[in-house]
């Protein structure tokens, strides 16, 4: 009764894109179809280029949009600063506003110029009384390092003060910070029994942004926001030392120290946690989540519970620029005990075993540069005081593993590199400088009351270069095959 139409009722044939017959024999029966290789290759060639062009155009549009948004924001800030009335306490002070603040010192308070970076409601009261100012401000002191930035109440700010001495280099030096990274997100950390105020921003995961204080396990360096989480972890954690090879152990004045070499490729999580801690105290550290190219040397205090980290330095496994140190950090609670010079001397002792000269990677922080200058000066005075015969700069480089640039720079700083028309450049160190160096060394060795760590003793070092391990593995594989 009912006519059912066929399933395929197309009246027009589908368009043919590629010929199924070989060239020279159109319509020949029994010939296999040729695949569309030419057209397919052309498509493969053109598509990536089109994608690149689209990507570039979108990036340009995003860049223009970012610049326009940044300019709009700057214009809004300037307008807000221009319209602000300091006499009106009900309104908050605009961001980027320049004024003065009472900088509290140990014995004297100083009025210092500053700039406002961030603001927040007052944390000392739940409800602000009528007529009082209801904001706190995160300020940066002009010409000071960012570790001095802090939150201050409104009563500590001044709208008049001494004449400002702006340093353009210092301002340009801090321009690389954006609105997020220039404000500290973590205010304190606790490792074991030590509680340390932080200095800089560190990009911890988003879920930890609500905690102003982070708690670290003193052995595996896992971090937590609550004490209960740390206590639960401590009951399960079985670590007693860093996950690496112990290469040095020594008994120093009132302390026992040990050094461990940790491979960033094998222990990725542990080394990333070390980098998180270092970023809180180093402004110029670039936090790389790929720790595979680096070796970490963890300096520990040996306690009855285990080996607890007090500082570290890292270096590249294969450095193109002959850097023997990439990053160095001593925890603030363990500073001024000789750990910094110990880490620096360890990096140079490793360079001596490798048979090459080395230098730290730049830029160096102000405290790091101070420690390096002190080490370089004491090392050169030690070498020159022990050598009775004349010594050249190349010989000093071989003895100390310092680069020629660092040696000449330190000799000039000590004012013992002189030039004569007859002899040319020559080194002459006065006896008074050698005498002061020996007196200081004797005074440090006589310390018995406080903790002090001397530089590395090469006789106690047990270490082989990383490339030597790789060559040994390669030779062993060849022998097995």
Spatial distance between the Cα atoms of 361 and 231, rounded to a whole number of angstroms:
38
Instruction: In whole angstroms, give the CA distance from residue 4 to residue 11.
Output: 17
Whose structure tokens read 């660092």? Answer: 406
Structural tokens at position 415: 């004012």
The per-type count for the chain, helices as H runs and strands as E runs, is 10, 18
Give the up-direction half-sphere exposure of residue 265: CA atoms within 13 A in the CB hemisphere.
6
In the β-sheet with 150-153, what is the strand arrangement from edge to edge?
Answer: 150-153, 135-141, 109-121, 98-104, 157-158
CA distances in angstroms from 231 to 222, 225, 236, 429, listed in the order given: 12, 11, 9, 58
**Any idea which residue has 């493969």 for tokens?**
44
Q: Tell me the chain's radius of gyration from C-alpha atoms.
A: 32
Q: Are strands 294-302 and 307-316 parallel, antiparallel or unpaired?
A: antiparallel
Secondary structure of residue 419 in the 3-state scheme: strand
Q: Which of 283, 361, 423, 431 is catalytic?
A: 361
Could you give the CA distance from residue 117 to residue 26 in angstroms, rounded to a whole number?
A: 77
Q: Which residues pair with 424 in a beta bridge?
A: 420
**Active-site residue flag, 193:** no
Residues identified as active-site: 361
């Amino acid at each position: 009764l009912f006519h059912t139409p066929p399933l395929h009722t197309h009246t027009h044939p589908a368009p043919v894109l590629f010929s199924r017959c070989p060239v020279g024999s159109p319509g020949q029966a029994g010939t296999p179809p040729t695949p569309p290789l030419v057209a397919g290759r052309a498509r493969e060639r053109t598509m990536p280029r089109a994608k690149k062009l689209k990507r570039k155009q979108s990036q340009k549009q995003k860049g223009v949009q970012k610049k326009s948004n940044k300019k709009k924001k700057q214009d809004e800030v300037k307008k807000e600063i221009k319209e602000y009335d300091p006499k009106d306490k009900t309104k908050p002070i605009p961001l980027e506003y320049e004024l003065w603040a009472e900088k509290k010192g140990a014995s004297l308070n100083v009025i210092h110029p500053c700039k406002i970076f961030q603001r927040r409601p007052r944390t000392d009261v739940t409800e602000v009384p009528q007529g009082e100012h209801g904001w706190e401000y995160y300020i940066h002191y002009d010409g000071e390092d960012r570790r001095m930035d802090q939150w201050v109440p409104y009563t500590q700010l001044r709208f008049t003060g001494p004449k400002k001495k702006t340093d353009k280099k210092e301002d340009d030096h801090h321009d690389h910070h954006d609105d997020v990274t220039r404000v500290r997100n973590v205010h304190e950390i606790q490792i074991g029994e030590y509680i340390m105020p932080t200095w800089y921003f560190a990009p911890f995961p988003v879920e930890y942004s609500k905690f102003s204080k982070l708690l670290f396990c003193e052995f595996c360096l896992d971090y937590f926001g609550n004490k209960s989480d740390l206590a639960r972890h401590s009951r399960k954690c079985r670590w007693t030392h860093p996950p690496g090879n112990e290469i040095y152990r020594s008994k120093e004045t009132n302390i026992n120290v040990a050094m461990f070499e940790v491979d960033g490729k094998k222990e990725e999580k542990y080394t990333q946690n070390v980098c998180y801690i270092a970023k809180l105290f180093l402004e110029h550290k670039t936090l790389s989540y790929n720790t595979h190219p680096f070796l970490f040397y963890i300096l520990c205090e040996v306690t009855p519970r285990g080996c607890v980290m007090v500082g570290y330095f890292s270096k590249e496994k294969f450095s193109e620029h002959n850097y023997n140190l990439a990053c160095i950090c001593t925890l603030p609670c363990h500073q001024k005990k000789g750990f910094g010079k110990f880490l620096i001397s360890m990096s140079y002792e490793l360079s001596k075993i490798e048979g090459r000269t080395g230098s730290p990677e730049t830029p160096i922080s102000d405290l790091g540069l101070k420690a390096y200058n002190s080490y370089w000066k004491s090392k050169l005075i030690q070498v020159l005081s022990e050598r009775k015969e004349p010594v050249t700069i190349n010989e000093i480089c071989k003895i100390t593993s310092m680069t020629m640039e660092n040696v000449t720079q330190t000799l000039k700083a000590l004012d013992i590199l002189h030039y004569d028309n007859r002899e040319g450049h020559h080194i002459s160190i006065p006896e008074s400088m050698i005498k002061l160096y020996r007196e200081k060394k004797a005074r440090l060795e006589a310390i018995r009351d406080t903790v002090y760590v001397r530089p590395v003793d090469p006789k106690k070092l047990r270490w082989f270069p990383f490339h030597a391990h790789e060559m040994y593995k390669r030779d062993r594989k060849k022998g097995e095959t």
